């Protein structure tokens, strides 16, 4: 997962989609991110190892 893209989306309040195995599993704004996880404004955590983020 691209760290620059995550930081850009986080700092600018951009909406992202979270995909896993070709299936949309979540969307929203990033409110917190660590080395291993991101948390969206819907309160769900997603592992950076098994998901792909797309900026909407």
Residue 1 has pLDDT above 70, yes or no: no
The 10 Å CB-count burial string (b at 16+, else e) for 10-46 is: beeeeebbbbeeeeeebbbebeebeeeebebeeeeeb
> Whole-prediction pTM value?
0.86
How many whole angstroms separate alpha carbon 6 and alpha carbon 14? 10
Which sequence spans correspond to the domains of the chain?
Answer: 14-55
How many whole angstroms separate alpha carbon 1 and alpha carbon 6? 8
pLDDT at 2: 81
What are 2-56's pLDDT values in tens digits? 889 999 999 999 999 999 999 999 999 999 999 999 999 989 999 999 999 999 9
């Amino acid at each position: 997962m691209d760290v620059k893209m995550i930081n850009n989306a986080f700092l600018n309040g951009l909406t992202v989609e979270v995909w896993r195995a070709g299936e949309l599993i979540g969307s929203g704004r990033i409110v917190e991110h660590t080395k291993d996880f991101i948390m969206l404004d819907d309160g769900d955590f997603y592992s950076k190892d098994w998901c792909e983020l797309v900026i909407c």
